[in-house]
Chains A and B, each alone.
Chain A
């Protein structure tokens, strides 16, 4: 029945005014609802999807394609009547992350065939798009995107301003230095796409109810059990929140709140009447990021919007009628964008205005969308926070989420989009309001390596924050925690933030060099308190067995030993990479990367039986962590503790509680996360200042100084240390990164992922973690690698880099990345043997320029003069990006 109603709706919609007109359409909705009695609500469904926009319909479409049928989609208003109806409908693959490029590329292909599949016009036109560069830096960032697009098989090219004028004669090219042309980008009518997806889903059995609001989701024992709507309750196993800008409020409305950090901002675009000679529907979309605007053709005229510097956040206090009424056209606010448009297309001056549309969009704290299952409520899935790219992402994101629900995990690593990268700490309204005001302009700002958000800072800090800050620390933020990047010496001035943005050698180069040198030659102290720290107590033998099942390495080590281990999934991929110190027979101290705080906790909880006696405590906040790196670290510590700290007395990967200065009970671990000698000190926070002061004063004669994460990063990358979240993810196995010796495959114990690993050991791996040392790269003059650069082997694309740093020891740039072996004809993935790696000539493509690189496999020992026993090398590293 619903399907018929839906089809009936479409002609009605066509007959009515085709473009956004908020109030009249509202009124017509209400008249329709009065005339047609609502269809009754089912009492249960396997999946309830909340939100009938392009995202919700895409999820429904893909779930039904994957064979799930018992699906109910609820929409509070009418289908495709929210942001979907008002969005500009640009589908572009030119994105900053490979994953986003993949999603957009999939969406593009999906929308293209949708009309054929459903018979519903979607307004799909392959117009192509042109990204303009007014500066050389912008051109570099376009070139970087371009080289990533081309290895994905998406046509794109860097073009000259002259060519821009040929493609789009309206554009004034006098101030352009170049542009990127992506010919397969398209425009659609997002609302029609949503209707087409809905109708296809209906055909596959999905039920759709509009004018039905979800009030809250019912949760029992941490699982979704049903949904309460304004028209009754529905039992369900899965709930999918595709509520767009309302997802935040909806998440909080539960008894057990789900925090979905996103916030809406007003977004404006302009519609004009047709040009004198109406613009052709194939006219390419223009993105002038330096001018902060986009322009697409629209019914012979143009549609132009942008991302202004001073966004207007809205609905901070939740949905309220006043804000909705105040959603006026704000021409004064639009003025800078209009100026920019007329500067770019001066001939449009005489074009007549049709209207200025105000269409709130939702933004997330890190500019990436939010996908996945809630860490606190099982069965509560989210797909929202599209940062103004809903049309581009809907198809791909919908597919991934559907796969996630049906198969347990998507076919791609989506950690960058995972809801679990956030915690409750990103859920403050004030934080979100401030942060999205920074995020929205950032969409069109130049994105250079290692930028840090400026808003929402100083939320979590170590007790030493002020001390370090006073000594010139510059800070970066990870998961709300402030971490020092490097320390600016008193006599040195760095560039202002705006000037320091570069794709080349950064201004902190010399500073980090001296910190690295100090780590190598003397001793440095790095505040690493942001690490996630759990205490696990397993009172019974069976609990210990559970631990052995959860972790891939053998935890049954003598008390005082530290084990590097992964937490693997069924596929053998890393869910977490951590170090565990055995404090006593039954208690363990677990150190994980900073952004694992939510994910790791959820993973452990999920795999713990309900009746387990395993005690899990998050003690992150209890300890300040100081990393004492360098050959003189042992001298400093032994002077402070009157205990010998030489390797004979305190071997590598050892943990001991001891006194440092007056403070007792400091957990000292002989590891540094860098491969350099030294110690990690886990200090109860009340002792932090004392221990730090003692270290600094005693260390003075050994040349101690502060260092930051940039030095740490350089050290660990030159030692080929992978870290989770950047190099390692849920799709990389220990075997692929040469960590077989860290897995208890041969101990006859079962653990998650064992079967997959055994099979992999038999069949061989399809990608291998490789280190590249750039050969002909001039550090002073050439563009620096970052991450995501394509790797070429004998001229063939084989993979992408995952991280990079300058090695002050090797005096070369070092990139880490995975090498694949694609069959040249079929593109099929083949086994990658060490021989395959070693016998190739490699090049790294940095923004279109290729640099020769020497490949090394892990573990290696030839680079450095001193050798260490293999099992002594500690390989864990948690540094964030």
Chain B
């Protein structure tokens, strides 16, 4: 039990250096003020679950903190913080699980610092952090310089270039850029990218968690293994099973491409591995002899993982830390949008409201967006229709209410969220037998209204297949944090122009139009401002975030706006924007073209 607490504390620990947080407040369930709750519901990028609850779960806890206290907390550097949190969290599992439980505050203050100064190289992070704190006492005068803005925007950026062999890149993927900008503290979004080693292809995904980050974290770690296993031919599965059986070295299935902040929870790895093994054993037994269809594999993997999450929570684990972990995974939720690229075959499996957008360059050089996923939310009529059909007519009005599932949940499909999947009896039983934290948690105990015919929620993805053409230049996978601030056409245009370089991209041509020298001058000045913002970024995802957060009404990055948005206190940040996670995959037009010619 305390282990779980540890994790949470570890994650929060840096903030506890703040003088105004008392030891007592840590364990308490601080009531969320009704005022705050109301505000949360009206805010533009609203929370996925609009339930006012009492909870010790951290995001809510921080919401509940009184405003002055929050202002003393670091106002900015959300990403730095998340980095610290992530790392601290990671270290604690291995370090402190076995040490004696009582934790005087002094240790709390001390340990995280030590942990992160030992485990993540940057001493400077710490200095940045304390530095920030000093600033935080005068939030009004705070203004971020361009380098500070850049360091925030770039803290989580990651780029991967597919290595070239013999001077040639034979993959249809040139590489990808990804980045995250947190609004929640800690961030609830996750991202994953990996190359399948036993089959061809590359997997990329973004995961948007809600009610905490436990579920999105688990999905980001586990889903690609499930997909990879689903894709493996029978012989390979057998080989792997034999290797496990005889204790030989396992064939590596995935090569991960991870930012240092993208961590894996080591404690659960054994548990996760066993579940995965059970899955492939079943696949071996089921051997149909047919070649694996990617679409089917994706659907199976999604469903199987969600099922395993649910089962693990029901079964529990003798290790109390793990037991709490699996419960938190199951009771929180996550959407997923995953792309599988193999040659010219692009599959996008989507569950929830993240989106995949293809950037297509027309012959005249302009950019257009092709959507490769459907949002599963109230804006999607067929989803509403599906839900209504799956439940008795009597529930037609209650199943989707205020554009939310049962009036609560925004995405209509998601991993985890057993609250919308299990029967009431099962939920009660699990909570009662579960650890105290769970039992004390208002949110977990809360049963959705009009809850008659569960399950209301599924993790089954919708898979869209697209055959890549030479004009398909890139794919943007992003959580709804991006899509609610920017139109897809703008997203594709910005990325397209960034990747090709504005110069070649959209040359201005006067041809035929009446343009005066003065008008042209104004236009050029504006374009130059845009270019200079592009030069600051080495990463397409960072560039996109810069635009998403900093764009003014003219579609140009306004530094002042950017600075204000990034220096929002974390409490306010979530009201102006959601977590943003973006992966931009760049395709190799030459290879795609060659495939096409081959088949002709």
Residues on A close to B: CB < 8 A? Answer: 270, 272, 328-335, 338-339, 341-342, 348-356
Contacts and interface: CB of A to CB of B under 8 A. Distances in A.
A339 B521 contact: yes
Query: Nearest 9 A-B pairs (CB), nearest first?
Result: A349-B518, A335-B524, A331-B508, A353-B515, A353-B510, A351-B517, A350-B516, A348-B517, A328-B507
Interface in B476-531: 502-503, 507-511, 514-518, 520-521, 524-525, 527-528, 531
Contacts of A355: 510-511
B398 to A, nearest CB: 57
Nearest to B509: A329
Which of B511, B516, B517, B525 has most chain A Cβ within 10 Å? Answer: B517
A43 B408 CA distance: 92
Contacts of B520: 331, 338, 353
A341 B524 contact: no
Contacts of A341: 517
A136 B306 CA distance: 78
Contacts of B516: 349-353
A477 B515 CA distance: 47
Given A332-B502, A350-B518, 4 more contacts: A328-B509, A330-B507, A338-B517, A349-B516
Nearest to B520: A353
A349 B510 CA distance: 15
B297 to A, nearest CB: 43
A15 B103 CA distance: 94
B527 A332 contact: yes
Nearest to A354: B510
Given A330-B507, A331-B507, A349 B517 contact: yes
11 contacts: A328-B509, A329-B509, A329-B510, A331-B507, A332-B502, A333-B503, A338-B520, A351-B516, A352-B516, A355-B511, A356-B510
A314 to B, nearest CB: 14
A791 B559 CA distance: 60
Nearest to A302: B517
Contacts of B517: 270, 272, 338, 341-342, 348-353
Contacts of B521: 335, 338-339, 342, 349
Contact of B503 (A332, A339, A349, A356): A332
Nearest to A351: B517
Contacts of A338: 517, 520-521, 524
A270 B507 CA distance: 16
A331 B502 CA distance: 12
B591 to A, nearest CB: 21
Nearest to A349: B518
Contacts of B507: 328-332
Nearest to A348: B517
A439 B359 CA distance: 41
A333 B528 CA distance: 10
A797 to B, nearest CB: 45
Contacts of A330: 503, 507
A331 B518 contact: no
A329 B509 CA distance: 7
B98 to A, nearest CB: 61
Contacts of B503: 330, 332-333
B277 to A, nearest CB: 55
A581 to B, nearest CB: 55
B502 A352 contact: no
Nearest to B510: A353
Contacts of A270: 517
A611 to B, nearest CB: 53
A343 B320 CA distance: 75
B528 A335 contact: yes
Contacts of B514: 352
A400 B232 CA distance: 80
Contacts of A335: 521, 524-525, 527-528
Contacts of A353: 510, 515-517, 520
A434 B525 CA distance: 28
Contacts of B508: 329, 331-332
A338 B508 CA distance: 14
A270 B517 CA distance: 10
B555 to A, nearest CB: 17
Which of B514, B515, B518, B525 has most chain A Cβ within 10 Å? Answer: B518
A348 B507 CA distance: 23
Given A328-B507, A329-B509, A332-B508, A342 B528 contact: no
Nearest to B523: A331
Contacts of A329: 507-510
A313 to B, nearest CB: 15
B336 to A, nearest CB: 41
Contacts of A332: 502-503, 507-508, 524, 527-528, 531
Which of A350, A352, A354 has most chain B Cβ within 10 Å? Answer: A352
A335 B503 CA distance: 12
Nearest to A312: B503
Nearest to A334: B524
Nearest to A339: B521
Contacts of B524: 331-332, 334-335, 338
Nearest to A333: B503
A352 B531 CA distance: 26
Contacts of B531: 332
B497 to A, nearest CB: 12
A182 B273 CA distance: 87
A272 B527 CA distance: 22
A9 to B, nearest CB: 28
A348 B503 CA distance: 26
A330 B508 CA distance: 7
Nearest to B511: A355
Nearest to A328: B507
Interface in B247-268: none
Contacts of A334: 524
Which of A270, A335, A341, A356 has most chain B Cβ within 10 Å? Answer: A335
A333 B507 CA distance: 10
B522 to A, nearest CB: 10
A334 B524 CA distance: 9
B257 to A, nearest CB: 34
Contacts of A328: 507, 509
Contacts of A339: 521, 525
Nearest to A273: B514
Which of B508, B509, B527 has most chain A Cβ within 10 Å? Answer: B508
A270 B520 CA distance: 12
Contacts of B511: 355
Contacts of B527: 332, 335
B483 to A, nearest CB: 30
A355 B514 CA distance: 11
A339 B525 CA distance: 9
B510 A342 contact: no
A341 B508 CA distance: 19
A349 B518 CA distance: 4
Nearest to A346: B518
Nearest to A338: B521
A354 B511 CA distance: 8
Contacts of B525: 335, 339
A335 B521 CA distance: 7
Nearest to B513: A353
B249 to A, nearest CB: 50
A335 B527 CA distance: 10
B444 to A, nearest CB: 57
A820 to B, nearest CB: 50
Contacts of A331: 507-508, 520, 524
A341 B510 CA distance: 18
A355 to B, nearest CB: 6
A542 B214 CA distance: 100
A353 B524 CA distance: 14
A355 B511 CA distance: 7
A328 B507 CA distance: 8
Nearest to B503: A332
A338 B522 CA distance: 10
Contacts of A350: 516-518
